[in-house]
Structure 1
Amino acid sequence: MGKVTLIGGSGNVAREVIDAILKRGKHNVMICSRKSIRPVDLPPVVQWAVVDYSDHVSLVSVFRGTDTVLSFVTGMDAYSGFQVEKQAIDAAIEAGVQRYAPSQWAARSDSGITHYAFKDKVLQYTLFQPGFFTDYLAFPHCTAPHFHNMQMMFDFQNRRAIIISGSEDAPITLTTVSDTALVVAAALDYAGPWPEVGGICGTQTTIKQILTLGENLRGQWDVTRIDASDVQNDRFVAPWYPLVDHPSLSEEMREHASKMVLREYLLSSLRGGWSVSNEWNKLLNMELTSMEEYLATVWQGKD
Structure 2
Amino acid sequence: MTTIAKPPTTQSHLGTNILLEAGTNELEVLVFHLDEHRYGINGAKVREVVHPPKVRPVPNAHESLDGLCKLRDLVMPMVSLRKYFQLNAPEQLAKLDTSKSLDSHDSQVIVTVFNSQSVAFRVDRVDRIYRISWEKMRPLPELCDSDRNLFTGLTVIDEDIVLMVDLEKISEEINGRKSRLVAEAEASHAKPLLGKRILYAEDSLMIQTMTTDLLRAAGVDDLHIFNNGQDAWNWVNQHSGVPPLDVVVTDIEMPLMDGLHLTSRLRQDKRTSNIPVILLSSLINAENEKKGKAVGATAQLVKSKINLLPGTIAEALTAGK
The alignment's TM-score, normalised by the length of structure 2, stands at 0.30
More strand by share: 2
More helix by share: 1
